[in-house]
Amino acid sequence: SKQIRIAIAGYGNLGRGVEAAIEKNPDMTLVGIFSRRDPASLQPLRAGTPVHRLESLAAHGEAIDVLILCGGSKDDLPAQGPQLAALFNTVDSFDTHARIPEYFAAVDAPARANGKTALISIGWDPGLFSLNRLYGEALLPDGATYTFWGKGLSQGHSDAVRRVPGVKAGVQYTLPSPQAIERVRAGERPQLSTRDKHTRECFVVLEEGADAAAVERAIVTMPDYFADYDTTVNFIDEATLMRDHRRMPHGGFVIRSGNTSAEHAQVIEYSLQLESNPEFTASVLVAYARAAYRLNRQGQCGAMTAFDVAPGLLSIKSPAQLREELL
Ligand SMILES: NC(=O)C1=CN([C@@H]2O[C@H](COP(=O)(O)OP(=O)(O)OC[C@H]3O[C@@H](n4cnc5c(N)ncnc54)[C@H](OP(=O)(O)O)[C@@H]3O)[C@@H](O)[C@H]2O)C=CC1
Ligand SMILES: N[C@@H](C[C@H]1CC(C(=O)O)=NO1)C(=O)O
């Protein structure tokens, strides 16, 4: 059967993860990588993979079935998402939770106007954790839901740190509060504020001559990313960053504890342990690219989130095989 032709827009951790993920999906072919940087400066996983400048994308419309957007959520996707959804079927991992409604609207209009399908905010949070928060609320209406991440490297928060003027490089780790987890696991169903559940720890390499105090203030007060958390910023040199902060592990879990009757408490838990946050997220994006391709062929256009995609569309197996093998 026909190969699904995938292209990558934005070649960072996520873009490289998508390259690896496509190798694991025999119904897909990587037809190109698109970057704002000089293509000659990039080393694709597979020698021979075409690398182009991002601005040449429009000329490749008919050769791409689904474009996977791997830009940063802080500054790249708000512009690239709506712009590229007018030209291609797209899948992205937009994760600025507070801004998802406005991003959805901004992508939906051009996608609908051009008969394209745009799956937004795909990944694990938002994405798989969102699905499990939904299941929890729908299946156990009388209950409480908690999401914990880490200890691990948040790519969205690391991207946001790197966008601060004066920052040359940087990463952000998310640390869950052991006390908060203990109270939830003990079945207390506590009221926990954002600040109660996690702290954030940044490691930053400054540009030459940058003002450390100004950089620290810009990070810890950053709306949607750090303002609601207790955040520490550590300044290190580039060698230390390269030595100690190259791995990108992460993970976490969603817990729903609820009562189906006065007598019976029920608990649903979904957890992830990730050695590579970007490679896992990319695997999710690639499975949803299969769904985007199928949805568009069914005439389902516009923006959608993971809530709107039937799980069967993710599988390389046919509906009949799924009924025989997985039900
Ligand atoms: N929903 C979810 O569960 C998840 C979502 N995410 C999202 O994925 C986004 C991307 O993460 P990630 O791939 O780690 O971000 P990166 O910082 O690695 O890449 C972001 C963009 O920056 C550019 N870039 C990458 N490396 C360099 C470099 N060395 N010099 C200059 N520019 C560079 C690339 O654009 P170009 O090639 O055009 O230069 C790239 O698309 C995050 O912002 C986050 O929001 C991540 C994980 C989970
Ligand atoms: N979107 C997150 C995925 C998870 C991790 C996270 C956090 O540590 O705050 N929130 O959601 C990421 O970019 O890594």
Which residue, 93, 96, 152, 167, is CA-closest to 124? 93
pLDDT per position as a tens digit, 150-205: 999 999 999 999 999 999 999 999 999 999 999 999 999 999 999 999 999 999 99
Tell me what pLDDT residue 93 has.
98
Per-residue pLDDT, averaged over 238-249, amounts to: 98
Tell me what pLDDT residue 322 has.
97
Q: Is the pLDDT of residue 234 over 80?
A: yes
Q: How far is the CA of 116 from the centre of ligand 1 (A)?
A: 24
**Ligand 1 within 6 A of CB of 103:** no
SS3 per-residue string spanning 213-258: HHHHHHHHCCCCCCCCCEEEEEECCHHHHHHHCCCCCEEEEEEEEE
Tell me what pLDDT residue 61 has.
82
Band of residue 207 on the pLDDT scale cut at 50, 70, 90: very high
Tell me what pLDDT residue 2 has.
86
pTM given for the model: 0.98
Task: Work out the percent of the chain whose per-residue pLDDT is above 70.
Answer: 100
Tell me what pLDDT residue 62 has.
84
In a mutational test of the pocket of ligand 1, which residue from 84, 90, 93, 250 has the highest number of ligand atoms less than 8 Å from its CB? 93
Interface confidence: ipTM more than 0.90: yes
Check if the beta carbon of residue 231 is closer than 8 Å to that of residue 219.
yes
Tell me what pLDDT residue 85 has.
98
Q: Is the pLDDT of residue 1 over 80?
A: no
pLDDT per position as a tens digit, 61-115: 889 999 999 999 999 999 999 999 999 999 999 999 999 999 999 999 999 999 9
Q: Is the pLDDT of residue 242 over 80?
A: yes
Using alpha carbons, list the distances in angstroms from residue 169 to 36, 44, 161, 242, 275: 18, 22, 8, 10, 21
Residue 39 — φ and ψ, nearest 5°? -50, -35
Q: How far is the CA of 142 from the centre of ligand 2 (A)?
A: 27
**Ligand 2 within 6 A of CB of 159:** no
Tell me what pLDDT residue 23 has.
97
pLDDT per position as a tens digit, 251-304: 999 999 999 999 999 999 999 999 999 999 999 999 999 999 999 999 999 999
Question: What's at 50, amino acid-wise?
Answer: P
Tell me what pLDDT residue 169 has.
98
Tokens of 276: 């590579």
SS3 per-residue string spanning the chain: CCCEEEEEECCCHHHHHHHHHHCCCCCEEEEEEEECCCHHHCCCCCCCCCEEEHHHHHHHHHHCCEEEECCCCCCCHHHHHHHHHCCCCEEECCCCHHHHHHHHHHHHHHHHHCCCEEECCCCECCEHHHHHHHHHHHHCCCEEEEEEECCEECHHHHHHHHCCCCEEEEEEEEEECHHHHHHHHCCCCCCCCHHHHEEEEEEEEECCCCCHHHHHHHHHCCCCCCCCCEEEEEECCHHHHHHHCCCCCEEEEEEEEEECCCCCEEEEEEEEEECCHHHHHHHHHHHHHHHHHHHHHCCCCEEECHHHCCHHHHCCCCHHHHHHHCC
In a mutational test of the pocket of ligand 2, which residue from 250, 272, 279, 281 has the highest number of ligand atoms less than 8 Å from its CB? 250
**Ligand 1 within 6 A of CB of 156:** yes
**Ligand 2 within 6 A of CB of 117:** no
pLDDT per position as a tens digit, 113-149: 999 999 999 999 999 999 999 999 999 999 999 999 9
